[in-house]
């Protein structure tokens, strides 16, 4: 036997085989339970206690690890002392043994309890790694992490899909993007990023949209062209996926997740090329139309068959993009999307940094430049060429783990029908 060890956690299974009690406990951030063993012949009083312990109870166990582990789960502790810290006061609303599946809604309604299930717990361990590696990568590249307001006077897109709030008698909005602020910062800092929440007031009813989400926003100044932004984003996503696979790839695969083990170089196709691929395969899309989910899904399958789950679509029509995107000729723009497995993960591009051209863009989009004066002023004082992107972190978790619904990637999702828990 080893040195004494203490374990705390929740009972996820109880098995009594003759005079031996086997209690499975989900401890710490482990993705597999530890089996607590108590033999009646060794300690009859302790055996009586643990043989009656309720499923879901919170325990503190003192014991020793055996030299030879019998448990198929791989971890075992022979208990010398067990303290029941808390017992369920009611029947558990979901099966924490994992044998009987609950409904999709119950896994969300009782997320705090569902986190005792290894597969659900794994999602949020992976999510934490993804967020951490995003920060590690960008910080190592000289980016400054910033925090911008989430109560704003004007939306980045200038649209109506914003949640309004009463700001001491004045109308304000919950931010749907830090776009304007991160661009303004390019007047004083060369590279910034932000990890934070965003809010969208659309009445979504899809498996990939939420009304509150978490995103990564990146902006970089003194770029040569949009390719600098594309390269950074590709390197970032490749790095994050690599670190995820290195950290817990085997565990994720054993739990049934469809991870991307090898993230290869991302193809870069223009909007025109993507449109041609689609229309050559039964679609009837006109130039300038955005790609709907059906078209995105087809493109995802098309590129996946070529062994590349991630790909860029570049040179979008300018009319379909926000005012701050730089034009590329009379009709096109330096805007791009990044799709993984047929789902848009990020969008970005080179920004218009010239004051007069940016002013004209606002007018051409039917927006009042006076509403954006606080933003436009920053472009008067030596604004360098710059570009960046916004990336949906919830979606990134979703596609890297092969989840079917974005709500699986969020602890307490907010959509048009869900405001609690």
Q: Residues comprising the binding site?
A: 157, 200-202, 208-210, 344, 347, 351, 392-395
Residue 47: how many CA atoms within 13 Å on its side-chain side? 13
Cβ density class 224-263: b for 16+ within 10 Å, e for less: eebebbbebbbebbbbbbbbbbebbbebbeebebebbeeb
Chain-centre distance for alpha carbon 374 = 31
Q: Report the distance separating Cα 99 and Cα 15, nearest Å.
A: 14
| φ, ψ at 77 (rounded to 5°) | -140, 125
Q: Report the distance separating Cα 181 and Cα 190, nearest Å.
A: 13
Task: Number of helices (H) and strands (E) in the chain: give both, helices first.
Answer: 11, 18
Per-residue tokens: 51: 């043989």
Q: Report the distance separating Cα 58 and Cα 147, nearest Å.
A: 38
Per-residue tokens: 81: 């002392």
Per-residue tokens: 225: 């062209």
Q: Report the distance separating Cα 271 and Cα 260, nearest Å.
A: 25
Nearest to 88 by CA among 35, 32, 10, 24: 10
Question: Could you tell me which residues are annotated as the binding site for Mg(2+)?
Answer: 344, 347
Q: Report the distance separating Cα 311 and Cα 414, nearest Å.
A: 29
Question: What region, left, alpha or beta, does residue 341 occupy, with left being phi > 0 and alpha being psi -120 to 50 degrees?
Answer: left
Question: Could you tell me which residues are annotated as the binding site for L-aspartate?
Answer: 157, 200, 347, 351
Per-residue tokens: 419: 């405001």
Q: Report the distance separating Cα 336 and Cα 318, nearest Å.
A: 11
Question: Could you tell me which residues are annotated as the binding site for ATP?
Answer: 200-202, 208-210, 344, 392-395
Contact between 314 and 268 under an 8 Å Cβ cutoff? The reply is yes
SS3 annotation, 25-73: EEECCCCCCEEEEEECCCCHHHHHHHCCCCCCCEEEEEEECCCCCCCCC
Cβ burial of 313 (10 Å; 0-12, 13-18, 19+) is buried
In sign, the C-alpha dihedral spanning 177, 183, 188, 192 is positive
């Amino acid at each position: 036997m080893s040195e004494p060890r203490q374990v705390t956690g929740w009972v996820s299974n109880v098995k009594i085989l003759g005079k031996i009690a086997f209690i499975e406990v989900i401890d710490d951030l482990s993705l597999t339970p530890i089996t607590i063993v108590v033999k009646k012949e060794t300690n009859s009083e302790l055996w009586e206690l643990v043989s009656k312990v309720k499923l879901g109870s919170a325990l503190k166990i003192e014991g020793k690890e055996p030299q030879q582990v019998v448990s198929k789960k791989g971890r075992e502790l022979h208990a010398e002392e067990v303290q029941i810290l808390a017992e369920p006061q009611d029947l558990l609303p979901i099966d924490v043994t994992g044998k009987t599946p609950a409904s999709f809604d119950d896994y969300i309604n009782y997320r705090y309890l569902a986190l005792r299930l290894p597969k659900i717990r794994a999602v949020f361990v992976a999510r934490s790694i993804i967020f951490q590696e995003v920060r590690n990568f960008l910080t190592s590249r000289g980016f400054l992490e910033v925090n911008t307001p989430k109560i704003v006077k004007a939306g980045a897109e200038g649209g109506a899909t914003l949640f309004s709030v009463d700001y001491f008698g004045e109308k304000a909005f919950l931010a749907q993007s830090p776009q304007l602020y991160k661009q303004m910062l390019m007047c004083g800092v060369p590279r910034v990023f932000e990890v934070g929440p965003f809010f969208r007031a659309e009445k979504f009813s899809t498996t990939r949209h939420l009304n509150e989400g978490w995103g990564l926003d990146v902006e970089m100044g003194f770029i040569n062209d949009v390719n600098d932004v594309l390269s950074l984003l590709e390197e970032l996503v490749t790095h994050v996926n690599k670190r995820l696979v290195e950290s817990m790839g085997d565990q994720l695969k054993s739990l049934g997740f469809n991870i991307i083990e090898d993230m290869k170089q991302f193809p870069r196709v223009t909007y025109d090329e993507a449109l041609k691929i689609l229309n050559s395969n039964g679609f009837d899309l006109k130039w300038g139309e955005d790609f709907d989910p059906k078209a995105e899904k087809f493109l995802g399958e098309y590129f996946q068959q070529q062994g590349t789950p991630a790909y860029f679509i570049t040179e979008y029509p300018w009319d379909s993009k926000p005012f701050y995107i730089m034009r590329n000729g009379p009709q096109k723009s330096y805007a791009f999307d990044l799709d993984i497995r047929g789902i848009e993960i990020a969008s970005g591009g080179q920004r218009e940094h010239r004051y007069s051209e940016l002013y004209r863009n606002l007018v051409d989009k039917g927006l009042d430049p006076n509403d954006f004066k606080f933003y436009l002023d920053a472009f008067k004082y030596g604004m360098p060429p710059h570009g960046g992107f916004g990336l949906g972190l919830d979606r990134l978790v979703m596609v890297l783990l092969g989840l079917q619904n974005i709500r699986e990637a969020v602890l307490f999702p907010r959509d048009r029908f869900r405001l609690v828990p």
